[in-house]
Amino acid sequence: MRKQILFLFIAGLLLVSACTGGLPAETEETQVFTPTETSAAQTEETTVEPVPTDTQVPPTPMDGGDPTPEAAKAARRALADLLGIGENEITINSIEQTTWPDACLGVGQPDESCLMVQTPGFIVNMTAAGMIYIYHTNSDGTTVRPAGTQPIPFQPFDAAGAAGVTAVRFLAGELNLPEENISVTGIVETQWPDACLGLPGKEELCAMVITPGFLIQLQAAEQTCFVHIDREATNVRYICGSEGSAADERLAADAAMLFLSQELEIPPSEMAITSIEAVDWPDGCLGISRPNISCLTVITPGYRIMMEAGGEQYEVRTNRSGSVVDLPPGQ
């Protein structure tokens, strides 16, 4: 009987040991499963598409940032303060990099002493209330000055107005004159016959393509000048002359074109010059008498220019430089 009890006791111990020894294997299997499940989750997270790289890069001017130089912003602030309007009411049309001849940015006053040192800066063209304003600045905008003696608009902003402003600025640079000494005396829209705007350089090859633009007459000190410019004001050519210059015939032709264009209200591209004849007119009125107009009786060299427009013939008379132009009565 005791042997049976002992046997049963030993068998029970063995059974308990067997049951207890199975737990570690069961636990180990669970631990293996848990990391696997976690790894799968992590793998799923890493397969999510990343946010596009360009949204993580700080914006540059090409990405929509403000590319306006600080100097131009300073000019806009100055104009806003002058006019008593918000900066958002002012449009910056163009910013041109330049080097001023002095610390006064080329617009020093007569009683002002300017340090004669080359000063890098900008020409800032702005529109406010439909009018153009030109400001000169240094490179960082710490010095800002309106162009001219008065910060006033040049003229309404349109293609012709912008071309006129560009012509004045261009001619001032070419002739080394202050812009205030140059004035626009006439401007008409036209179609130039080629990419050289009808004023090719020596041995220059010009693409024969119709180029919209403007013919502009300017008075620069004692000279009469004509500027040929395209509509975008990116191609600018000019011709100036004085008594006896080789350019006089070209000047007279331009003067006749502009004069007749304004008289007939048609563009120069719809006219043609059929002949140009050098003439010594008997007086300062080019031999044309008008009531209540006195003429200086002095021989006046000039040109008789025959032109065709709208099927009609016109005689246009000019002095040598093109500063005086007239049509005989009856035309």
What's the pLDDT score for residue 59? 35
End-of-domain residue from the set 110, 127, 155? 155
Task: With a cut of 70, say whether residue 90 has pLDDT above it.
Answer: yes
The residues facing 301 across adjacent strands are 280
Residue 236 forms part of a structural domain: yes
Residue 71 forms part of a structural domain: yes
Do 190 and 173 belong together in one domain? yes
What's the pLDDT score for residue 6? 47
What is the model's pTM?
0.52
Tokens of 327: 């049509």
Task: With a cut of 80, say whether residue 7 has pLDDT above it.
Answer: no
Do 163 and 232 belong together in one domain? yes
Do 112 and 190 belong together in one domain? no
Residue 199 forms part of a structural domain: yes
Q: What's the number of domains the chain is made of?
A: 2
List Cβ neighbours of 159 (8 Å cut-off, separation of 6 or more): 189, 214, 231
For residues 22, 28, 32, 34, the Cα torsion angle rounded to the nearest 10 degrees is: 90
Do 196 and 127 belong together in one domain? no
Residue 19 forms part of a structural domain: no
Q: Which domain holds residue 139?
A: 67-155
Do 143 and 72 belong together in one domain? yes
**Cβ burial 41-52 (10 Å sphere, 16+ → b, else e):** eeeeeeeeeeee
Please state, for a pLDDT cut of 90, what percent of the chain lies above it: 50
Residue 300 forms part of a structural domain: no
pLDDT (mean) for 57-76? 65
How confident is the model over 149-171, as pLDDT tens digits? 454 544 444 678 888 889 999 99
Do 128 and 82 belong together in one domain? yes
